[in-house]
Amino acid sequence: MRLSDYPVVFTTDSNYFFSCDAKTIRIISVETGQVVRILSASVEEGGHSNTVTCVMLNPKNSLQLYSASLDGTIKLWDFNDAILLRTFEIGTPITNMAMHESFPNDVYLVVTKKSTKRFHKKQYKKSGGLVAKENSILVRYSLKSSRKRIVRLLSSRSCTGLVISSDGEYLVMTGRYKLHVIHIAAGDGIEQGAVSEHDEARLRTYLTPDRITALAFHPTEGCIATGDERGRITLWYCFGKNVDRPVTTSMHWHAHKVADLAFTSDGNYLLSGGEESVLVIWQLSTGHKQFLPRLGSEIKHITVSPDDAFYAMGHQDNSVNVIRAVDLKIKTNIQGLKFSHTDHVSNPLSTGLVIEPRNGHVVLNGLPGTLQFYDPIKDQHIMELEVFPRNKVSRTNEKEIVPPRVMHVAFSNDKAARWMATVDGRDDKETTPELYIKFWEYDDDSHTYVLNTRVDSPHTKEITSCIFNPRQGNHPPMVVTTSLDGTFKVWELTHQGEARRGVEAERAWSCRSTGFYRDMVPRAAGFASDGSLLAVAYGQIITLWNPYLNTLQGVLTQPPENRPIHHLTFLKNSPFLIAATSDHLYSWNLLTCSVWWSYQLKVDRLVPSQTSSNFVVTCSDRAQGSVPQHRILVFKPMDPKPVQIETIEKKARAITFMPDASATARDAVEPILIMNHGFAFEVLGGRSVEELKAEAEQAAEKARAVALEAESKKSLMSDIFGKAAVADAAAAKEKKEKKQQQDTAASRGMVSKKHMVRNPLFDAPSHVMAPVSSLFEAFMGQLLTQGKSAKEESKARKKALKQQKQEQVQQQTGAQGNTAETAIDIDMDDDAVEIVGVKEGGDDAIPSSLSKIFSARLSL
Amino acid sequence: MSSDFKSLTVKKYPRLPGRKTAESRYWRKFKSPIVVKEFAAVSSIHFSETSPYDFAVTASTRVQIYSSKTHQVKKTISRFKDVAYSGTIRNDGRLVVAGDATGLIQIFDVGSRAILRTFRDHRHPVHVAKFSSDKTQILSASDDKTVRIWDMPSETPLTIFTGHEDYIRAGMVSHDNPHLILSGSYDQTVKLWDMRTQGCVMTMNHGAPVECVDMFPDGGVVVSAGGPHLKVFDLLAGGRPMHSLSNHQKTVTSMCFDHSYSRLLTGSLDHHVKVYNVQDYSVVHSVKYPAPVMSVALSPDDTHLVAGMAGGLLSIRQRVVKSAEVQTRRAQEEQAQGGSYKYFVRGQKTAGEGDFIVESQKKRRLREYDRYLKVFQYGNALDACLRTNQPAVTTVSLIQELIHRDGLRQALSGRDDISLEPLAQFLVRNINNPRYTALLVDVTTVMIDMYTAVMGQSPLIDELFMRLRAKVKQEIAFQKQLFSVIGSMEMLFAKSTSTSVGVAFHNELSSTSNTSSSLAPKPSTESPAATIE
């Protein structure tokens, strides 16, 4: 998912928002954060064939959505049913789009003449988002087919923003140091063609000393806000009298460039954000600033919902935060795959894809210094673990702050995955490099991994691998690390100190032994599946050790070639050891200590299966022609003939086997999970890919249903009095009839009180709440009808329950004579039901009396 | 996520094994010894069991009562014709009994020092004279090989136990049963006597002349000291020896228990007092004294450790008790007093099952350096950390954080000699700590880099730089020595290992952190030296 490349757009009721995710558009519920619907899901069904850059609600019909894309088309969707209504061909990549309700048939577009391909490349290099667009051209496109469709208005260099004023008079476009204001409603503007630089009546251009990066138009006044590279926000009052000499106000808080600006719909506040990860809320009349700091990642886009209730922020780390405007608390947080948006040079995918055995989630590098747990099937963020805890601060000068890196992660092989080992560090090339091994234990209460032991500089040089001993049973867990300093170390969990009364002895990991072989450098290590044998690859030599006795068991020397082994792995339940150098793949049989078979292959990655003795290899060879071919091969250890061959277009970034609990046949190849070149997950092969997808789809459907339900339940009433007040009375009662029969009414009151305390609406000051006059209708209506229906429903349920119980009693008494006791019990329960029923009646009397009071007051 | 400001995480290093256990930290709190010179060897020290826990010190021909508050002599009882022994205060703190070398046993009133009773039947020196747990009786044991129980009001012996074949130098009456008497003699045995059967009921062989015996309050286990050995016997198993310890080099002269009978202290002629944990009789702490220890005692409230030495020195060590400890002790005592108002209203503050508890959110107070870090004032943060006497590890963590934020130069810049001094001091103090060396060398390099231009302008800073240089040089020399030792040791190891490939495994004792920092080659350490030069 690429959630935050382009700004999100809210629906008119502010319950959902649209997010451009590469070629698709996701509709996400504000309430639950679940994806409700996906537009443009596939190219075959009429979706966009390139990145969607801009979406906009149809000014004529707020249930329709226009989307513009780099494939040079604009599409009109009915987003309720995800139906494509129309497609408009422009022909050149569209980067910006603006429309206004006063001329619904015209759309203003910024298109770029650069080829899509190059644009795309550049975009990826800068890890997503809008980048400098050379030679932008502003065009007007008529959606009505009768006239000349495309009118070229203006060309500019690298457009960064395009807005139309709220009254539809002016169109503002920014490009580099220029602010262009075009009077589109001047005369019969529609008929006019290109705007020339000298046409002062229609075009005014203002120059700024710094490159403009953000643009917003004041919703009620003639005022434009621009943000520039140096962090300054400038308000331009350039309409009316001040046309030639615009009055400007500048506000400077940001230290880096202003990434985006947004006005609230009443125009009293201006929101700005940038690299500092701080949302600044400017009160325009007083100049007062309010800050929302430490948002986790750089802000790229800010959107204000139409009812001013939410602010949505797109972040650099591929996440969208929706915050409530009243108390500035997080409402919803949606996160995609973070690795796709980090700098891949300083933060490579060094962990690869690691399957967490507990839930089968994928674990990989997230933001620098963190690990992300991700569900590849549902395409869902699970959790983020800060391996290297830090306060993210923005740079003070041009030089970027060197971030920490997570190099390796490994999980213990027991089902519960109790332990996790990580290797992380930071090297800024100036000070002493930091290197840590950290051991984490799973905490059942908080459902996350908690740091147990940190080892400072465990090795003097970089660590090349980190693996767990896979043995089962009651042994203390064991980890082996190999390092460029020539040693490998065996770590084991030990008890430190003595157990005191009631307190267990402190557990910590410590180094058990250190090994080395001549003065060579180990690059890979592997454990046999029963944990009794440790193989460490030193250069082209494989050394075999007993990890318990610390003895060298044997040495396997590769056939003559001087390429060091990069990958080394044992296979589950087989005596084979697979080693890969940069251009060969060897399968060793440890029973005969000989090479069983070998291949000449350029191996990029080698991953063994967790459940069978298969292993998968990605390789690229230039055998045919100059274009390298990328292949994925699945082997069995005995046989040099691959079980499965897949050819892919671009190099896979990472690969692993998916855990598949339902795999039945032993020989079946498990599904293979690939992170493709575009940072999306693909699943290859395997019997159950479709099923998994379907399952995921079902789950998603369920989630959507929940989201919709939550949406429908939400009302002004529930906002005020909490959900419990209008909750299904019968459901609440069923619980209570067994527990507290006497205090039903009292405890009911308390429950609702509890929820009232939690209601977020009350966090806000009273003066921002809706006026009582607008609340009253909803309040009374809801109270009366809801109460009645609940009562009826509860009665119906009660009846059903009673019947059921009586049947049970009959059955039991019929079957056995001696179940009199249970019968009595149930009888008592029945009595209780009746008591509660009476109380219910008492309860229901209250609203009616309330309504009387209210109506009396109203008539007064 | 508008997450909270993460305050500085101070690094934690593992405790090194063998140093500073909780136990030794406790016993080290007995500090500031007051040494008093007596006329001759202090043969016995005994604490009163009632507050204010005064103690009787027997040396030469007198018994002195010391106040544990002022550590001064309160009373001196010197009405002995010969050397006095075994001055003991009765558990109500009113009476003192002592024997002497003529065989006389006297009971004194603590207040008036008047002789209240005299017992004259022993013909040889009486080394043991103690009150029985029955308040009206006393126990005496003498070099005439007899143990006697006396009735105090009538001054007559109730029982005479004969059976030992040599001098009796140790004895006591069981705490829970005044009929049981324990004695230890130079005939190398410990005997248990029963007044009801008027004879010896158990004999345990110690294997050396017994100098001191003691018994646990439940009367089941006996500890005897004699020669350099300590033996523990189980009375319930018929005197079976449970432990035999010989942690002392010379004869153990004296023993005492702490207030809870969980630790045993022994004083020996080898100048040491050792503390044993009675669970496994392991030595948990040991205190060295300037002379052979003749007697040792611990006050009933565990605040005073008094040792008497052969040269006549008396050492009093006091542990300052925190009010919290006093309170917990008091709370323990006050617990479970049924019938009181407190007992009646107990547990009213705990929440019931259906109660809705409103949790109060505590506002986190940031430390001063954290507050500066939060507003990016790196220099001030460093100053605050150095100024407020934080432990070195906090400062080191802060410097690490500054490096992470790319703010080290900013923090070090713009300082004059006064404001640079604390940091330079810190570097001088800690640069040779193997845990911090790598980081502090980086800091030093940056500092030297920034301030070489103004070198020679301030004598204060110049002197600090010279000291830093000396320290680094010294450390390098030390590392070189270490390497030569390692080299020679490796040669020995290589000889002794059987593996032929030249592979050596060695278990790493030091765990978890800085596994190699102290032994690793440190070329980086040399760089500041070079720069300073």
Residue B106: count other Cβ atoms within 10 Å of its Cβ: 22
pLDDT the model gives residue A35? 85
Token representation of residue A595: 């090479």
**Partner-chain contact A496 B354, CB within 8 Å:** no
Q: What is the pLDDT of residue A258?
A: 92
Residue pair A125/A145 in contact (Cβ under 8 Å)? The answer is no
- Are the C-beta atoms of residues A311 and A304 closer than 8 Å to each other? yes
Query: Which residues does A625 contact at the CB level (< 8 Å), separation at least 6?
Result: none
- In this predicted model, which residue has the larger pLDDT, A259 or A780? A259
Cα separation, A314 vs A302, whole angstroms: 6
The pLDDT > 90 percentage for chain A reads 15
Closest CA to B137 of B154, B150, B125: B150
Classified as helix, coil or strand, A438 is strand
CA B305/CA B297 separation, integer angstroms: 6
- Three-class SS state of A116: helix
**pLDDT for residue B254:** 93
Taking the mean position of all CA atoms in its chain, how far away is CA A13? 24
State the helix-helix crossing angle for B437-451 and B392-404, rounded to 10 degrees.
Answer: 70
Please tell me the least confidently modeled range out of A311-320, A717-726, B275-284, B362-371.
A717-726
| Predicted local distance difference test score (pLDDT) of residue A130 | 44
pLDDT of residue A536: 93
Backbone φ and ψ for A269, nearest 5 degrees, come out as -125, 150
Cβ atoms of A347 and A368 within 8 Å: the answer is yes
pLDDT for the residue numbered A661: 58
Q: In this complex, do A432 and B524 lie within 8 Å of one another by their Cβ atoms?
A: yes
Give the mean model confidence (pLDDT) for residues A620-643.
78
Q: Are A157 and A136 in contact (CB under 8 A)?
A: yes
CA distance B89 to chain A (A): 36
What CA–CA distances, in Å, run from A857 to A5, A296, A849, A853, B57?
A: 54, 51, 12, 6, 93
Q: How confident is the model at residue A860 (pLDDT cuts 50, 70, 90)?
A: very low
Average pLDDT, chain A: 77
Specify whether the CB–CB gap between A84 and A66 falls below 8 A: no
Does the distance separating the beta carbons of A454 and B14 come in below 8 Å?
Answer: no
Mean pLDDT across A385-413: 85
SS3 state at A261: strand
Alpha carbon A771 to its chain's center: 37
Q: Does A433 touch chain B (CB under 8 A)?
A: no
B372 contacts on A by Cβ (under 8 Å): none
* Minimum CA–CA partner of B357 in chain A: A754
At B161 the pLDDT is 92
CA distance A457 to chain B (A): 7
Question: How far apart (Å, rounded) are the C-alpha atoms in residues A141 and A92?
Answer: 12
pLDDT of amino acid A666? 53
Q: How far is CA A739 from CA A724, A735, A791, A829, B497, in A?
A: 18, 7, 21, 11, 73
Question: First and final CA of chain B: distance in angstroms?
Answer: 51
| pLDDT tens sequence across A556-596 | 887 666 788 888 999 888 889 999 888 888 888 888 888 88
Contacts of B514 in chain A (CB under 8 A): 456-457
In this predicted structure, the answer to whether residue A70 has a pLDDT above a threshold of 80 is yes
Distance (Å, whole) CA B318 – CA B327: 19
Count other Cβ atoms within 10 Å, centred on residue B43: 21
How far apart are alpha carbons B241 and B232 in whole angstroms? 6
CB A270, CB A282: distance < 8 Å: yes
For residue B217, say if its preceding peptide bond is cis, omega within 30 degrees of 0: no
Q: What is the phi/psi pair of residue A15, to 5°? A: -90, -20
Which residues sit opposite B131 in a β-bridge?
B138
| Among B412, B344, B422, B418, CA closest to B386 | B422
3-state secondary structure of B99: strand
Question: Mind telling me how many Å the CA of A238 is from chain B's nearest CA?
Answer: 36
Contact A129, A5 (CB under 8 A): yes
**R_g of chain B, CA atoms, integer Å:** 32
What ipTM, to 2 d.p.?
0.76
Helix pair angle (B437-451, B417-430), 10° resolution: 150
Q: Which tops the pLDDT comparison, A723 or A696?
A: A696
Which pLDDT score is estimated for A199?
64
User: Is it the case that residue A429 has pLDDT exceeding 80?
Assistant: yes
Please state which of the ranges A448-457, A650-659, B336-345 shows the lowest mean pLDDT: B336-345
Could B442 and A517 be called an inter-chain contact, meaning their C-beta atoms sit closer than 8 Å?
Answer: no
pLDDT per 10-residue tile (average), chain B, 533 residues:
74 70 84 86 91 89 90 90 92 91 92 90 91 89 92 90 92 90 93 91 92 90 92 91 91 92 92 91 90 92 91 90 75 69 74 77 84 91 90 92 89 89 92 90 92 88 92 94 94 72 39 34 37 36
Token readout for A295 is: 């948002």
State the pLDDT at residue A720: 60
Does the pLDDT at position A748 exceed 60? no
User: For residues B360 and A824, what is the distance between their CA atoms, to the nearest angstrom?
Assistant: 46
Model confidence pLDDT, tens digit, residues A171-208: 888 888 888 888 877 554 444 555 555 566 678 888 88
Name which residue leads in pLDDT, B287 or A855.
B287
As a whole number of angstroms, the distance between CA A779 and CA A797 comes to 26
Query: How far separated are the first and last CA of chain A, in Å rounded?
Result: 58
Q: Look at A302-306, A596-600, B293-297 and tell me which has the smallest mean pLDDT.
A: A596-600
- Hey, is B214 helix, strand or coil? strand
Sheet with B146-151: strands ordered across: B126-131, B137-142, B146-151, B156-162
Size of interface A-B (CB pairs under 8 A): 117
Question: In angstroms, rounded to a whole number, what is the distance separating the alpha carbons of residues A455 and B323?
Answer: 38
A395 touches chain B (CB under 8 A): yes
Give the separation between CA B181 and CA B170, rounded to whole angstroms.
Answer: 11
pLDDT attached to residue A623: 59
Cβ contact B272:B230 at 8 Å:
no
Residues 745-774, chain A, touching B (beta carbon < 8 A): 747, 750, 753-754, 757
Q: What is the mean pLDDT of residues A669-673?
A: 80
Which of A387-391, A530-534, A771-775, A789-793 has the least mean pLDDT? A789-793
Position A789 pLDDT exceeds 60: no
Structure tokens given for A370: 């963190």
Q: What is the reported pLDDT for A272? A: 94
The DSSP output letter for B466 is H
The token duo for A712 is: 């429908």
Q: Which residue shows structure tokens 């079902």?
A: A698
Give the pLDDT confidence of A137-148 residue by residue, as tens digits: 888 888 776 666
Nearest by CB: B503 against A434, A453, A517? A517
Which residues are CB-neighbours of B488 under 8 A, at least 6 positions away? none
Q: Which long-range contacts (CB under 8 A, 24 or more apart) does B390-393 make?
A: B392/B426, B392/B429, B392/B430, B392/B433, B392/B436, B393/B10, B393/B11, B393/B12, B393/B13, B393/B435, B393/B436
pLDDT band, residue A497 (cuts 50/70/90): low
- Closest by Cβ to B442, choosing from A431, A454, A750: A431
Residue of B nearest to A323 (CA): B1
Which residues in chain B touch residue A508, judged by CB atoms under 8 angstroms apart?
14, 511-512
Interface test with chain A among B511, B517, B519, B522, by most A beta carbons within 10 Å: B511
With beta carbons less than 8 A apart as the criterion, state whether B87 and B46 touch: yes
Q: What's the pLDDT band for A276 if we cut at 50, 70, 90?
A: confident
**Which carries the bigger pLDDT value, residue A790 or residue A102?**
A102
CA–CA separation, A848 and A690 (whole Å): 55
- Residue A223's φ and ψ, nearest 5 degrees, are -145, 135
DSSP string, A269-320: EEEEEETT--EEEEETTT--EEEE---SS-EEEEEE-TTSSEEEEEETTSEE
Q: Do B438 and A453 touch (CB under 8 A)?
A: no
Distance CA A303, CA A291 (A): 16
Strand order in the sheet with A299-304: A299-304, A310-315, A319-324, A330-335
